[in-house]
Amino acid sequence: MPQLSERAVRMPSSPIRKLAPLAEEAKKRGVKVYHLNIGQPDLDSPSVALQALKTINRTILEYSPSDGFLSLREKLVGYYDQYQIKLTAEDIIITTGGSEAVLFAFMTCLNPGDEIIVPEPAYANYMAFAISAGAIIRPITSSIEDGFALPSIERLEEMITPRTKGVMICNPNNPTGYLYTRKEMNKIRDLVKKYDLYLFSDEVYREFIYTGSPYISACHLEGIEENVVLIDSLSKRYSECGIRIGALITKNKKLRSAVMKFCQARLSPPLIGQIIAEASIDAPREYAMNVYEKFIERRNCLVDELNKLPGVYSPIPMGAFYTVARLPIDDSDKFCAWCLTDFEFEGETIMMAPASGFYSEEGKGKNEVRLAYALEKKELKRAIFLLGEALKKYNQLSSNRNQ
C-alpha cells in the first residue's frame, strides 16, 4: 500500500475514546462499565427539543445554508446577550459540533509550522486539530498543586516566537474545571494585543460554573475584537452531544469570509440538529437550573469521594464537568486499560480517560486521569468506590510483582 501521511501517523488516538474497544469487550463479558471517560451527560435533553424533533413535518431532508439557518443564528444572538456577549447573526457560523469550529479556526488561521500556545492539560482534540492544520502546540503546563491555575503571564510571554500565531484557551476548562479570573483574562488580552495574536476561546461550558466567580468571555475583552475566535457547542448545555451543532463566532469579517469557504466545501451543518438546537434555546429556565443543581451535587460527591481514597487527590473544579485527579499509580494509560481488561468487582468496573492524552509532551500526566461527572450521584459514588477497589488490587499486584 502507499504510505500514510505524516500527519496521520502523528495524529494521536483520542484518550477519551481509544479505550472504547476494551470497554466493548468488557461489556460482552457481562461486566457493567461506569463511564467516567466521556462528557456525555446522562440527563434528558430538553422536552421542547424532543418535541420539536417529533413534529418535524418536512418531507425533503434537504441542505441548509453553509453558515446554518438564519433563524438559529438570530436566536443565538439573544442567548449570548444574556451573557453580555453582543453579537449579530452575521458574527455566528453554525458548525458540525464545536469540533468542526476548532478545525476550521485552525485551518483558516494557522500555516504548517505556526505555533499556538495552549495551557495544559488541555482538551485532547485540540492537538488533533492542530496536527490536521500542520500547526504546532506549544504547551504551557499548569499543575494540579496550583489547582491548574494559568501559569504566570511572564512564562506565557517567554514562549512567544516569531511563529506564534495564537493562544488557545478553554474556559471553564476541560479537563481541569479551572475558570480563568478576570485578571488572568486581562493579561491574556494584553498579550494578544501586544503580539497581534489570535485568541481561540472554547467556552462550551459557560453554563457550568459553580463558584459564583464571574464568567469572563474572550468576547468581553476590549480592543481585541478582531483577534477573538469563540468556539461554542450546544452539546453540553442541552445534553445533545449527538446532534453535532456548534458555532464559530468572530467579529472579524475577513476571517469570517475565509471560514465560510471551508463551510461551503462541506456544504452544510446537519439539518435536524439545527432544528433541535433552535428549539432547545427555548428550554425553560428550570431546565438549566435543574441541570446545574445536579452537576453541583455530582461535583461535590465526586471530589469528596475521590479525596477520601488513599493517595488520591483532586482539586475542586470551578466549572465544566470534569476533574483531573492524581492517583497513586505510575502509568494511568496502563491502569485505565487494566481496569477494563483485568479488573472487575461484583461484575462492575470503570472507564476513565488517562490524562497523558491531555498533555502534548511525553511523560506528563502519567499519574493523572480525567474523570467526567456526567453520571447520577448514586452511580458516581459506586464508580469511585470501584476506583478505590481497583487501585487496591492494582497496587497489590504490582507490589507482588516487585517482590
Q: Nearer Cβ to a copy of itself, position 103 or 169? A: 103
The residue range among 80-88, 268-276, 309-317, 393-401 that interacts with a copy of itself, by the rule CB under 8 A, is: 268-276
Peptide bond into 172 cis (omega under 30): yes
The answer to whether 146 and 119 are in contact (CB under 8 A) is: no
The residue range among 194-202, 299-307, 324-332, 362-370 that interacts with a copy of itself, by the rule CB under 8 A, is: 194-202
Using the rule CB under 8 A, which residue among 28, 30, 54, 363 binds a copy of itself? 54
The answer to whether 67 and 263 are in contact (CB under 8 A) is: yes
Q: Determine, following the binding rule CB under 8 A, whether residue 37 of this chain makes contact with a copy of itself.
A: no
Q: Please give the Cα distance from 268 to 188 (Å, whole number).
A: 34
Q: What is the DSSP letter of 345?
A: B
Using the rule CB under 8 A, which residue among 227, 323, 356, 360 binds a copy of itself? 227
Q: What is the DSSP letter of 243?
A: G
- Site track for a copy of itself across 66-85, x = CB under 8 A: x-------------------
Q: Determine, following the binding rule CB under 8 A, whether residue 44 of this chain makes contact with a copy of itself.
A: yes
Site for a copy of itself in 83-142 (CB under 8 A): 96-97, 99-100, 103, 107-112, 114, 125, 128-129, 132-134
- Site track for a copy of itself across 195-224, x = CB under 8 A: -xxx--------------------------
Q: What is the DSSP letter of 250?
A: -
Q: Determine, following the binding rule CB under 8 A, whether residue 243 of this chain makes contact with a copy of itself.
A: yes
Q: How far is the CB of 238 from a copy of itself (least distance, A)?
A: 8
Beta-bridged to residue 233, according to DSSP, are: 246
> CA torsion angle for 98, 300, 17, 203 (degrees, to 10)?
10
Q: Nearer Cβ to a copy of itself, position 182 or 253? A: 253
List, edge to edge, every strand of the sheet that includes 368-372: 322-326, 368-372, 353-354
Using the rule CB under 8 A, which residue among 138, 165, 206, 370 binds a copy of itself? 165
Q: Please give the Cα distance from 109 to 113 (Å, whole number).
A: 12
CB-based contacts of 374: which residues, under 8 Å, 6+ apart?
35, 38, 39, 40, 41, 42, 298, 321
Q: Nearer Cβ to a copy of itself, position 273 or 365? A: 273
Using the rule CB under 8 A, which residue among 19, 33, 45, 367 binds a copy of itself? 45
Q: Determine, following the binding rule CB under 8 A, whether residue 42 of this chain makes contact with a copy of itself.
A: yes
Q: How far is the CB of 137 from a copy of itself (least distance, A)?
A: 14
Backbone phi and psi for residue 209, each to the nearest 5 degrees, phi listed first = -125, 125
The answer to whether 69 and 278 are in contact (CB under 8 A) is: yes
The residue range among 7-15, 155-163, 295-303, 345-353 that interacts with a copy of itself, by the rule CB under 8 A, is: 7-15
What are the cell numbers at 96? 458540525
Q: Scanning the structure block, which residue is given the C-alpha cell 465526586?
A: 302
Using the rule CB under 8 A, which residue among 25, 27, 29, 63 binds a copy of itself? 63
The residue range among 257-265, 282-290, 330-338, 378-386 that interacts with a copy of itself, by the rule CB under 8 A, is: 257-265
What are the cell numbers at 352? 476513565
Q: How far is the CB of 161 from a copy of itself (least distance, A)?
A: 14
Using the rule CB under 8 A, which residue among 22, 31, 50, 316 binds a copy of itself? 50
Q: Please give the Cα distance from 192 to 389 (Å, whole number).
A: 47
The answer to whether 102 and 231 are in contact (CB under 8 A) is: yes
Q: Determine, following the binding rule CB under 8 A, whether residue 267 of this chain makes contact with a copy of itself.
A: yes
Q: Scanning the structure block, which residue is given the C-alpha cell 476513565?
A: 352
From first CA to last CA, the distance across the chain in angstroms is 47
Using the rule CB under 8 A, which residue among 65, 151, 328, 388 binds a copy of itself? 65
The residue range among 179-187, 252-260, 317-325, 345-353 that interacts with a copy of itself, by the rule CB under 8 A, is: 252-260
Q: Determine, following the binding rule CB under 8 A, whether residue 7 of this chain makes contact with a copy of itself.
A: yes
Q: Please give the Cα distance from 220 to 351 (Å, whole number).
A: 38
The answer to whether 241 and 235 are in contact (CB under 8 A) is: yes
Q: Determine, following the binding rule CB under 8 A, whether residue 163 of this chain makes contact with a copy of itself.
A: no
Q: Please give the Cα distance from 42 to 305 (Å, whole number).
A: 20
Beta-bridged to residue 372, according to DSSP, are: 322
The residue range among 35-43, 76-84, 286-294, 318-326 that interacts with a copy of itself, by the rule CB under 8 A, is: 35-43
Q: Nearer Cβ to a copy of itself, position 155 or 261? A: 261
